[in-house]
């Protein structure tokens, strides 16, 4: 057997020995997670405790700025630039508003961990301007996929550039305001009809 065929056969055998989950998930950058980026590696896990979470004031229209998600996004996406926090526990907390093509508004208060590339929803907004705590809230992986890409856009473009948590809230606020438009001036959603 030639050395090249031997190396190919060895590589195929090694790949076959890997667990199936090692190749079936994409990370925030859209790459398939390989065998060396497993969440199961105990040596890399650190003890982390989430800080206390306080619900912010309900967002006001003048503080909501749009951000770009993708060319195929039909809804509009806004962040409350007045109530972004970068907390000591390593979580960026923010209020998100999604406006559907029909004008329905969904408001949520969320957190994002740059270190683990995860997000969590703490509360959902009610039409009367009050918060309702989210049920079953847990940390879930952010994926950079075509649909529901808004979390990946926030991660990559504002909160966690290069996978590292932003240092200053003011820098994040200015970046969102520079890129986006205020809620009242943002272009209307694209019609799906």
Give the residue, 35 or 82, on which the prediction is more confident: 82
pLDDT, residue 59, reads 95
- Using an 8 Å Cβ cutoff, are 3 and 120 in contact? no
pLDDT, residue 138, reads 95
Domain boundaries, the chain: 3-40, 59-185
Per-residue pLDDT at 2 exceeds 90 = no
pLDDT, residue 104, reads 94
**∠ CA 162-165-168, rounded to 5°:** 120
pLDDT, residue 157, reads 94
pLDDT, residue 9, reads 52
Written out in words, the top-level CATH class of the domain with range 59-185 is: mainly beta
Closest-CA residue to 91 (of 56, 123, 65, 116): 116
Distant-in-sequence, close-in-space partners of 44: CB < 8 Å, separation ≥ 6 = none
Residues present in the chain in total: 193
Share of the chain above pLDDT 90, in %: 60
- Using an 8 Å Cβ cutoff, are 166 and 158 in contact? yes
Give the residue, 154 or 34, on which the prediction is more confident: 154
pLDDT, residue 38, reads 44
Closest-CA residue to 50 (of 92, 84, 80): 92
87-112 per-position pLDDT tens digit: 999 999 999 999 999 999 999 999 99
Residue 25 pLDDT grade (very low, low, confident, very high; cuts 50, 70, 90)? low
126-168 per-position pLDDT tens digit: 999 999 999 989 999 998 887 779 999 999 999 999 889 999 9
pLDDT, residue 36, reads 39
Check residue 128 and give left, alpha or beta (phi > 0: left; psi -120 to 50: alpha): alpha
Question: Per-residue pLDDT averaged across 166-174, rounded?
Answer: 95
60-78 per-position pLDDT tens digit: 999 999 999 998 899 999 9
pLDDT, residue 28, reads 54
Closest-CA residue to 151 (of 187, 121, 185): 121
Closest-CA residue to 111 (of 133, 96, 130, 128): 96
């Amino acid at each position: 057997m030639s050395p090249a065929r031997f190396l190919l056969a060895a590589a195929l055998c090694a790949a076959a020995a890997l667990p199936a989950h090692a190749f079936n998930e994409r990370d925030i950058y859209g790459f398939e997670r390989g065998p060396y980026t497993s969440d199961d590696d105990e040596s890399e896990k650190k003890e982390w405790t989430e800080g206390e979470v306080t619900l912010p004031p309900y967002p006001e229209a003048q503080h909501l700025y749009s951000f770009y998600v993708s060319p195929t996004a039909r809804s509009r996406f806004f962040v409350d630039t007045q109530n972004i926090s970068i907390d000591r526990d390593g979580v960026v907390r923010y209020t998100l508003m999604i406006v559907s093509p029909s004008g329905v508004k969904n408001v949520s208060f969320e957190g994002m961990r740059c270190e683990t590339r995860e997000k969590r929803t703490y509360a959902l907004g009610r039409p009367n301007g009050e918060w309702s705590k989210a049920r079953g809230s847990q940390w879930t992986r952010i994926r950079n996929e075509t649909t529901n890409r808004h979390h990946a856009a926030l991660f990559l473009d504002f909160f966690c550039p290069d996978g590292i948590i932003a240092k200053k809230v003011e820098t994040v606020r200015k970046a969102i305001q520079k890129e986006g438009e205020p809620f009242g001036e943002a272009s209307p959603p694209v019609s799906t009809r």
